[in-house]
Amino acid sequence: MDRCRKAARFDVGLGSNDDLRAAVLELESARAAIDATQGHYLAELEARDACDIDLGLSTVSWLCSELRVPRRDAAVRVRVANKLRTELDGVDAALGEGRIGFEHARVLAAANPRVAEVIAGVQDALVAAAQHSPFEIWRRDVAGLVELVDQDGGHDPNDDVSRNRLHLDDVGGATVLRGELVGETALVVEQALEAATDALFRRYRRDHEACPELVIPPRSVVRALALAASSRTRRPARSSTSPWSSTVTPVPSPPQTGHESTPIPAGTCCVTRCCTPCGVTGRRSHST
C-alpha cells in the first residue's frame, strides 16, 4: 500500500510517451488483480456471514458505510464476487491475471440465472473473445448468446412489471411473505429496507451500549421489525395475546428522548419486543 501511495506522488512528467503508455497498461492489469483480490475477501465475508454476525450489517451495507460508495456499486461488487467464487472460477482467474477487466466479469456475472450453467461452461471461450474484441462488441455478443440459449426467450423490460409479485399467507397464526421483485422495483425496495434496517440496528446498538443486558437481535429479526416500522400507520396498536409483547409509540415532532437520553428521530416509532423463549430482548417500555 505504501508503494502505491508513493507511486501516486511520482512525477509522471519525467517519463517518455512510451513509458506513459506502458505504465497505463501495467496499472490497468494491477487494478484487475486488486479487483479480483478484493472479490475474494468479499466473497469470504459473505460465506461466513461475518458482517451480520459481528456488526449486524449486510456485507453491502458495511461496504457502503466504510467506503462511502453508492449502494448500487457496493451491491455489484458483492454480487460479482459471489458469482466468481461459486460459478465462474475461470473468469476469476482471468481477472486476477489481468487478462480481462472488472467490467468483463460484471457482464458475465449478470447473465440471466436461467443460462448460468451455459455461461459457466463456455466462460473460457468468452474470456478469450474478450481479449480480442472491443468491449461493446463483446458485450453485445454475450447478450446475443444469452438470448439464443435462453429457452424462455430474451429479456423484455415490459415484462418486468408483471414479474413483481408478493403473497401473504396465514400459516399457524403467523404471516408468511413470499414473492419476487425484479428490476427497478427490486432495487428501490432493497435500498429502502436495508437503510431502515441499518437505522434500527444502530438504535439497538446504542441501547446495548447503554444497557449491556439488552441483546442485539440478528439482522434478519431487525430487518423484519424495520419492515413493520416502515409499514405502520399512525394509529394505536391493537392489543395482542401473542407471546411477543409489542408496544408501538408514535414519536411526535419535535424529537423526544428515548432510552438513556438517546435522541429518537421525529416521525419514527419505538418498538418494544420481548421474547423469552429465544432470549432476544429489544427496547424496554417505561411505565409512567
Q: Where are the domains of the chain?
A: 21-155, 165-281
Predicted model pTM: 0.58
pLDDT in tens, the chain (288 residues): 788 788 888 888 988 999 999 999 999 999 999 999 999 999 999 999 999 989 988 999 999 999 999 999 999 999 999 999 999 999 999 999 999 999 999 999 998 888 989 999 999 999 999 999 999 999 999 998 988 888 766 555 555 687 888 888 888 888 888 888 887 788 888 888 888 899 899 999 999 999 999 999 998 899 999 998 888 754 555 544 443 344 444 434 444 444 444 444 444 444 444 433 334 444 443 443
CA distance 287 to 275: 19
DSSP states along 19-83: HHHHHHHHHHHHHHHHHHHHHHHHHHHHHHTHHHHHHS--HHHHHHHHH---HHHHHHHHHHHHH
